[in-house]
Structure formats: C-alpha cells, structure tokens
Structure 1
Amino acid sequence: MLPLPDPRDFPPRIATGAFILNAGLSKLKADEATAQGLHGMACTAYPFLKKIEPDRFTRLLAWSEIAVGSSLLVPFVPTRLAGLALTGFSGGLLGLYLRVPGMREPGSLRPSQDGVPLAKDSWMFGIGLGLLGAGPLRGSAASHRCRRHRGCAH
C-alpha cells in the first residue's frame, strides 16, 4: 500500500493541480483560432512541433494538462512522482517564456506585459522542485525515529 502524501504537501498540490486541470479542461473546448494560436506559440519555441496539426496539438496539450493536474490532486499518487510530472511540464512551459519573442523585457529575464501569464510557470517549476524533495531523506533522524518507534520501513 502506498503511503499518503505528507499533509504539508496538500496545499501546493491542490492549488497547482486545480489550476492545471482547469487549463486542460478549457483547452478541450478550444476553437480553431485558439488551437492555431497555441500551436504557433509552441512551434516558435519548439520547431519540431510543426509536424503536428494545431487541433491535434491542442488536444494533446489539454490531455497532458489534465494528466499532470490530476496527478497532483489524487492523493495516492506519490508526491515525488507528482512533483516530477509538474517539474517536467512546467519546465517545457518555461521554454516558451524564454524562447518566444516579446515575453521578456529586452536583455532581461523580467517579463514584459505579454510575458506575465507565462512567467507564472516559474512558480509551478519551483513547486515541482519542492515536491521532488518531499519526504524524509534516508538516513535522516526522522526516518530512524520512525523505524524505531513505529516499525516503518522507509
């Protein structure tokens, strides 16, 4: 049986998971103009995506967001696994922020007015990294105490 996440992990998992799940569900209803806009921006950052049709790309993106958001919201998904999914996904989104022209102030990492919506992906990346490091480390005092007093095997 998999252990439930530490209660301290629930707030970032719920807030981030709900945000990403909502974004994915919204993209399932995207019209053609929205799909073309999303695809065009993604292709600017990642040219290999030009091989995928805009509608298909948007559906794949939507289902990816639904999967990542759900992994964060479902408590039986281990926190580190959910953190890995979030870190990978948000890392890809940060690539958009860094590679798409006009998202940053010239010569700076500071977001332009157009880049503010993508700059939030840095928060998701940080949350993902935090979740990757969740739980007691092997050899720590907490894990020894747990084994000694409760018979847990970490």
Structure 2
Amino acid sequence: MKLVHVPLRVAIGAFFLNSGLSKRTLEGEAAEGLHGMATGAVPQLRRFSPNQFAKLLSYSEVAIGAALVVPFIPSALVGLGLAAFGSGLMQLYVKTPGLREPNSLRPTQQGVPIAKDAWLVGAGLTLLLDDLTHRRHRRLHH
C-alpha cells in the first residue's frame, strides 16, 4: 500500500467496519425496510429473506472495511470492491422513486443520504487507477 493511500483507506475502512458491525444484529422491521429498498432497485435480492440480506450486507461491509485497513491487500483490489459497492448504492439511488428530483440526477432531501455515497465510487476508482498506473510505471522503469 502506498503511503498516500493510508488516510483514505483508514478513514473509509473505519466507517465501513462501524457500519457493518452495527448491522450484525439487524432484524425485524429494520431489516425489512433495508431489504425492501434494496429489492426495489435490485429485484434479484428478493431471493434472500430480510434477515439474510441484513447479514449479507453486514458481512460485506465488514469485509470491505477490513480489506481497506489491512496494508498488504493491494489498493487496486480494495478499490475495485469499494467502487462495486458504491455502484450498487448508486443503482439504488437512481432506481428508487423519491430520491431524485423529477427528470434529474439532483437528489431530493430523502435522496441526499444515498446520493452522497457517490464518493465511494470515486474513492474506489482512485485507489484502483492509482495502483494500476503505479504498477505499470514501475514495470516500465525497472
């Protein structure tokens, strides 16, 4: 891991670990609400029960968070995971009614908490591209 990646990876990793750990025991109405919103954007998630989905989301967030803070996992790999997770949230944002202004990508008040997660895609792609271009540069100059 490059030293310049440390602040980004630790900050986002800590956030993901906290979020994932807080969802470990999510059940009942809370899990149903989360599952309902997700299945509206990604119908394939209906194959999971709300409690299964909450656990899967919890495990995914903990895995991404841990991968971000562990220094020997390549930034390209964690960047790819982060960008994929963020892309899923952007799909949720685009497909969920009421989160965007009509005929626009601008968020409504209800959409701001999801729209702001666009930074996950940007941060993930930055880690991925920087790591890949850095590796290519090293190969060309050594």
- Given the two structures, how large is their TM-score scaled by the length of structure 1? 0.86
Query: Who is 1:79 aligned against?
Result: 75
Query: Who is 1:130 aligned against?
Result: 126
| Alpha-carbon distance in 2 for matches of 1:103, 1:69 | 26
Query: Who is 2:57 aligned against?
Result: 61
In structure 1, the gaps of 5 or more residues are 148-154
Greater share of helix: 2
Confirm or deny that 1:102 pairs with 2:98.
yes
Query: Who is 2:112 aligned against?
Result: 116
Runs of 4+ aligned residues of structure 1 deviating over 2 Å after TM superposition are 140-143
Q: Over aligned residues, Cα RMSD in angstroms?
A: 1.5
SS at 1:83's partner residue? helix
- The change in CA–CA distance for 1:59 and 1:100 in structure 2 (over 3 A counts) is same
Query: Who is 2:32 aligned against?
Result: 36
SS at 1:28's partner residue? coil
| Alpha-carbon distance in 2 for matches of 1:142, 1:21 | 34
In structure 2, the gaps of 5 or more residues are none
Correspondent of 1:49 among 31, 45, 48: 45
Confirm or deny that 1:21 pairs with 2:17.
yes
CA deviation after TM superposition for structure 1 residue 29, in Å: 2.2
- The change in CA–CA distance for 1:108 and 1:81 in structure 2 (over 3 A counts) is same
Q: Deviations over 1:23-50 (max 9, x none)?
A: 1111112231110000000010011111
CA deviation after TM superposition for structure 1 residue 142, in Å: 8.9
| Alpha-carbon distance in 1 for matches of 2:129, 2:11 | 18
State which structure, 1 or 2, has the greater radius of gyration over its C-alpha atoms: 1
Q: Deviations over 1:71-114 (max 9, x none)?
A: 11111111101101101111111110110111111111111111
- Given the two structures, how large is their TM-score scaled by the length of structure 2? 0.92
Mapped contact 2:99–2:108 kept (Cα < 8 A) = yes
- The change in CA–CA distance for 1:143 and 1:95 in structure 2 (over 3 A counts) is same
Q: Deviations over 1:123-153 (max 9, x none)?
A: 0100000000123152x48951xx3xxxxxx
Between the two proteins, what is the percent identity of the paired residues? 49
SS at 1:41's partner residue? helix
